[in-house]
């Protein structure tokens, strides 16, 4: 794949509620074109569907940072899915802090002004540029670089 | 009698988790801790066997759920909701719908006919082939004896010109040359799709599938290399007049296709000279006024014509017209001119389900050419990321050729069985008899006219109360 200009050293796993504006297939693909391998997008039916496990597994496997975008407070289609997501993000933060990772590696954006997916993603990307690649992934990365091409399965 | 044509299928697991329609939203917060939680009562054990596919963050909750809604209805605090998985909704487009894609995955995985349960809850009619129905008046026959029962239903067709009459020598031997007919046991030819994250093994796998199925794989001439040419007897190299063509080790190929273009005649002549034993086919885009071109080609001796609509089943020059009626009119024009058997008419573009094969044949094609279904068989999500150089979410180019071949064979095996079902129910035992049998089908426009035509027309701007 071609190296895109905005490709970062770190990877963001971005979960987002399917009800946020301009978050359809095309919008998603434009973001992927823009950021290349630095972004992994996961649309979910409701932000309340997200569990600490999703965020933790993402950090463990491929992401340096994991964020979730929810609908504005009071506007969740399932009433309080976004509030639950907020609590879960908080809890997950505590977990990663307790093992010595920066809490900022996990974040939530409650889309107050109903911004588009792309605008939110840009802002999150700006906010995380100061973070180092995650120490959790270092062994993975070294391995990947060694044997980038996988054997046929 | 020749032995029965049966496609052997075997379950071939997916390489990635499939996307399903279900999007469960199940919350813990506020739980009343009922003595017996509805989650424990799920008969499929969905909540007990929970797992997460990390590559794509797919929750097994969604993939195992059978959508009975028992848990949703049963939770006294209404903590469980069901929504639609946004990833599933984003599959494909309005023609290659998530439903079509998911059912094709199922067929490629299992080799079985997809069954959607009791009754049909969809709309009465839809666009294109969805506005035609086949006569099922003989439906008792296959159920009595099964589609692979005593009555053999043949799906074989031949490609090329059928001789009008046979001639014999004085000694009584056959005088005409029968070599200019090629038989295939299935009215379906495979074609390399217009896009896809394809690797060498993908092409090889499809060639292998074509060989095992006894049909052909049509592919651009430039794609043929030393490894692929090993499958020469089941390849149809496609030669574009825009590209230089020299003789190139195509010896032994049985069928060569020339794309429509200014100098198609010169190229066809060149091929006939260098490969006298190969048949040539002409591939034309299916456009509005193509009928005249087809007639003149047949009159000039072209014996195989492949007509290609768009990938959403419409005319290349008019996206509002479905290819259905154009195929019918071409077939009827050939019949009127008394030259229908001088040519094999193949039709392709947008055929996404087994029933489309039967319906295209009823409209007048001899056989069909399919491309995207064989890509979807490999778990393609029709996201078209590959056309933008983005990575393929299901890494199709990394799949082994044996996997590619088995998945393709499974899909075609399931389609073959469905074609047999349709023909059995129609009481037709040879697919060549199905060609142009429009009298054994119903068309929405005709039904609408016959039923409501006498009531007059609704004027524009006039509201029915
Ligand atoms: S909807 Fe039915 S199958 Fe699905 S999780 Fe609930 S109880 Fe189980
Ligand atoms: S899944 Fe997407 S990227 Fe992969 S082959 Fe299909 S359309 Fe192309």
What global pTM score does this model have? 0.90
Residue A138's pLDDT is: 76
The helix (H) or strand (E) run that includes residue B407 is helix B401-426
User: For residue B318, is pLDDT > 70?
Assistant: yes
Give pLDDT, residue A153. 40
Between residues B94 and B29, the one the model is more confident about: B94
Can you tell me the mean pLDDT for B219-224?
92
pLDDT per position as a tens digit, B132-172: 999 988 877 655 677 888 788 999 999 998 777 778 888 88
Q: Name the residue at shortest CA distance from atom 2 of ligand 1.
A: B68
The span from the CA of B270 to the CA of B275, in Å, is 8
Long-range contacts of A26-32, Cβ-Cβ distance < 8 Å, separation of 24 or more: A27/A116, A27/A117, A27/A118, A28/A117, A28/B90, A29/B383, A29/B385, A29/B388, A29/B390, A30/A118, A31/A117, A31/A118, A31/A121, A32/B385, A32/B390
Interval B353-380 mean pLDDT = 97
Cβ contact B320:B281 at 8 Å = no
Name the token pair of B362.
Answer: 């009823």
CB nearest A25 (choices: B23, B85, B90): B90
Query: Between chains, do B52 and A28 touch, taking CB under 8 Å as contact?
Result: no
Which of the residue ranges B61-65, B137-141, B175-179, B228-232 would you say has the lowest mean pLDDT?
Answer: B175-179
Q: Is B188 helix (H, G, I), strand (E, B) or coil?
A: strand
Span A84-98, average pLDDT: 93
**CA dist., res. B326 & res. B286, Å (int):** 8
Mean pLDDT: which of A55-59, B124-128, B167-171 is highest?
A: A55-59
| Residue B382 CA, ligand 2 centroid: distance in Å | 5
Tokens of A78: 């399932």
- The yes-or-no verdict on residue B429 having pLDDT over 60 is yes
Question: B215, B163, B230: which is closest to B401 by C-alpha?
Answer: B230
Is the pLDDT at B270 greater than 50? The verdict is yes
Q: Is the pLDDT of residue A150 over 70?
A: no
Identify the band that residue B118 occupies on the pLDDT scale cut at 50, 70 and 90. low
CA triple B228-B231-B233, angle to 5 deg: 140
Query: Which has the higher per-residue pLDDT, B407 or A149?
Result: B407
pLDDT at B409: 98
**Model pLDDT for residues B25-50, shown as the tens digit of each residue:** 888 778 899 999 999 999 999 999 88
Q: How much is the mean pLDDT over chain B? A: 90
Query: In terms of DSSP bridges, do strands B217-220 and B235-239 run parallel, antiparallel, or are they unpaired?
Result: parallel
Query: For atom 8 of ligand 1, which residue has the closest CA?
Result: B42
Residue B247 scores a pLDDT above 70: no
Q: How many CB pairs below 8 Å do chains A and B form together? A: 71
Residue of B384, B399, B404 with the most ligand 2 atoms within 8 Å of its CB, for mutation: B384
Find, among B222, B194, B159, B188, the residue nearest to B355 by Cα.
Answer: B188
E-strand spans in B5-78? 22-26, 52-53, 58-59
Distance (angstroms) between ligand 2 centre and the Cα of B404 equals 15
- Segments in chain A forming alpha helices (H): 25-35, 52-61, 81-98, 117-127, 138-146
Three-state DSSP at B404 gives helix
Fold of B157-448: TIM Barrel (3.20.20)
- As given in the structure block, the two tokens for residue A40 are 């992994």
Band of pLDDT at residue B4, cut at 50, 70 and 90: confident
Average pLDDT over residues A126-150: 75
Q: For residue B81, which ligand has an atom nearest its CA?
A: 1
Sign of CA dihedral B297, B298, B303, B307: positive
pLDDT, tens digit, for every residue of A4-43? Answer: 546 667 899 999 999 889 998 899 999 999 998 899 999 9
Cβ(B376) – ligand 2 distance below 6 Å = no
| CA distances, B63 to each of A51, B19, B380, B390, B459 (Å) | 17, 7, 17, 26, 49
Q: What is the fold of A3-152? A: Rossmann fold (3.40.50)
Listed ranges A45-59, B167-181, B364-378; the one with the highest mean pLDDT: B364-378
Say how many CA atoms lie within 13 Å of B120 toward its Cβ. 4
Q: Enumerate residues 6+ apart whose C-beta is below 8 A from B345.
A: B294, B305, B307, B327, B330, B331, B334, B364, B365, B366
Chain B: closest CA distance from residue A62 (Å): 9
What φ, ψ does residue A140 adopt, rounded to 5°? -55, -50
Q: What is the pLDDT of residue B202?
A: 97
**Range B138-163 burial, b when 16+ CB lie within 10 A, else e:** eeebbeeeebeeeeebbbbbebbbee
- Over residues A61-69, the mean pLDDT reads 94
Q: Provide the CATH number for the domain formed by B22-84 in this structure.
A: 3.30.70
The residues with which A110 forms a beta bridge, in sequence order, are A70
Q: What pLDDT is recorded for position B149?
A: 80
β-bridge mates for residue A94, sequence order: none
The pLDDT confidence band at residue A152, using thresholds 50, 70 and 90, is: very low
Read off the pLDDT of each residue in A141-146 and give the average, rounded to a whole number: 66
User: What is the domain partition of chain A in residue ranges?
Assistant: 3-152
Q: Where are the domains of chain B?
A: 22-84, 157-448
User: Dihedral angle at the C-alpha atoms of B28, B34, B39, B45, nearest 10 degrees?
Assistant: 130
Residue A3 binned pLDDT confidence (cut-offs 50, 70, 90): very low
Min Cα distance A28 → chain B (Å) is 10
The residue whose CB lies within 8 Å of the most ligand 2 atoms, and thus the one to mutate among B92, B386, B391, B404, is B386
Q: How far is CA B308 from CA A126, B122, B238, B348, B371, in A?
A: 48, 29, 13, 5, 11
What is the least distance, in Å, from the CA of A98 to any CA of chain B?
A: 23
- B26 vs B306, residue with greater confidence: B306
Residue A70 has pLDDT above 90, yes or no: yes
Q: Which residue has the higher pLDDT, B324 or B263?
A: B324
The two tokens of residue B427 are: 């009481």
pLDDT at B178 over 70: no
Distance CA B138, CA B178 (A): 35
SS3 assignment, position B218? strand
Q: Residue A2: its pLDDT value, please?
A: 45
Q: What is the ipTM metric for this complex?
A: 0.81
Tell me the mean pLDDT in the region A116-143: 86
The conformational region for residue A71 under phi > 0 = left, psi -120 to 50 = alpha, else beta, is beta
Q: What is the pLDDT of residue B267?
A: 87
Question: Ligand 1 centroid vs A82 CA: distance in angstroms?
Answer: 23
């Amino acid at each position: 794949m071609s190296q895109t200009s905005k490709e970062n050293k770190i990877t963001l796993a971005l979960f987002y509620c399917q009800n946020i504006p301009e978050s359809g297939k095309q919008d998603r693909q434009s973001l992927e074109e823009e950021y290349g391998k630095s972004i992994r997008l996961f649309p979910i039916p409701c932000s309340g569907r997200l569990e600490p496990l999703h965020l933790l597994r993402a950090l463990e496997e491929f992401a340096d940072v994991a964020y979730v975008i929810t609908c504005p407070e009071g506007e969740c289609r399932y009433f309080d899915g976004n509030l639950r997501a907020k609590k879960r993000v908080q809890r997950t933060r505590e977990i990663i802090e307790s093992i010595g990772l920066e809490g900022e590696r996990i974040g939530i954006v409650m889309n107050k002004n109903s911004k588009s997916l792309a605008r939110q993603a840009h802002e999150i990307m700006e906010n995380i540029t100061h973070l180092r690649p995650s120490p959790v992934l270092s062994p993975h990365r070294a391995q990947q670089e060694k044997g980038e091409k996988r054997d046929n399965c | 009698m020749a032995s029965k044509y049966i496609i052997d299928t075997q379950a071939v697991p997916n390489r990635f988790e499939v996307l399903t329609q279900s999007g469960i939203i199940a919350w813990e917060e506020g739980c009343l801790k009922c003595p017996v939680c509805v989650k424990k009562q799920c008969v499929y054990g969905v909540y007990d066997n929970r797992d997460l596919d990390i590559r794509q963050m797919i929750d097994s909750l969604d993939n195992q759920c059978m959508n009975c809604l028992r848990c949703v209805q049963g939770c006294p605090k209404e903590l469980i909701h069901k929504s639609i998985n946004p990833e599933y909704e984003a599959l494909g487009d309005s023609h290659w719908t998530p439903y079509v894609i998911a059912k094709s995955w199922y067929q490629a995985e299992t080799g079985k006919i997809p069954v959607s349960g009791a009754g049909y809850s969809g709309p009465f009619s839809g666009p294109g082939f969805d506005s035609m129905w086949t006569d099922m008046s003989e439906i008792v026959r296959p159920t009595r004896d099964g589609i692979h029962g005593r009555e053999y239903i043949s799906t074989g067709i031949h490609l090329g010109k059928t001789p009008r009459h046979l001639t014999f020598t004085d000694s009584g031997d056959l005088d005409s040359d029968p070599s200019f007919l090629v038989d295939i046991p299935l009215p379906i030819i495979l074609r390399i799709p217009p896009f896809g994250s394809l690797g060498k093994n993908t092409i090889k796998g499809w060639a292998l599938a074509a060989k095992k199925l006894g049909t052909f794989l049509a592919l651009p001439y430039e794609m043929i290399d030393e490894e692929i040419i090993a499958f020469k007897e089941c390849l149809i190299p496609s030669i574009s007049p825009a590209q230089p063509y020299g003789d190139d080790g195509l010896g032994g190929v049985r069928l060569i296709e020339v794309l429509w273009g200014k100098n198609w005649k010169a190229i066809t002549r060149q091929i006939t000279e260098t490969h006298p034993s190969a048949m040539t086919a002409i591939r034309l885009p299916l456009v509005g006024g193509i009928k005249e071109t087809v007639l003149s080609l047949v009159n000039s001796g072209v014996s195989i014509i492949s007509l290609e609509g768009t990938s959403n089943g419409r005319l290349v020059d008019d996206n509002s017209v479905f290819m259905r009626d154009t195929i019918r009119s071409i077939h009827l024009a050939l019949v009127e001119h008394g030259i229908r058997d001088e040519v094999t008419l193949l039709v392709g573009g947008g055929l996404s389900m087994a029933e489309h094969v039967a319906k295209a044949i009823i409209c007048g094609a001899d056989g069909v050419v399919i491309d995207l279904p064989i890509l979807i068989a490999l778990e393609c999500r029709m996201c078209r990321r590959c056309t933008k150089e983005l990575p393929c979410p299901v890494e199709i180019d990394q799949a082994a050729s044996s996997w590619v071949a088995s998945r393709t064979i499974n899909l075609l095996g399931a389609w073959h069985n469905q074609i047999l079902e349709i023909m059995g129910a129609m009481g037709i035992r040879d697919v060549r008899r199905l060609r142009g049998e429009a009298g054994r089908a119903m068309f929405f426009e005709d039904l609408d006219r016959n039923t409501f035509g006498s009531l007059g027309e609704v004027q524009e701007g006039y509201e029915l109360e």
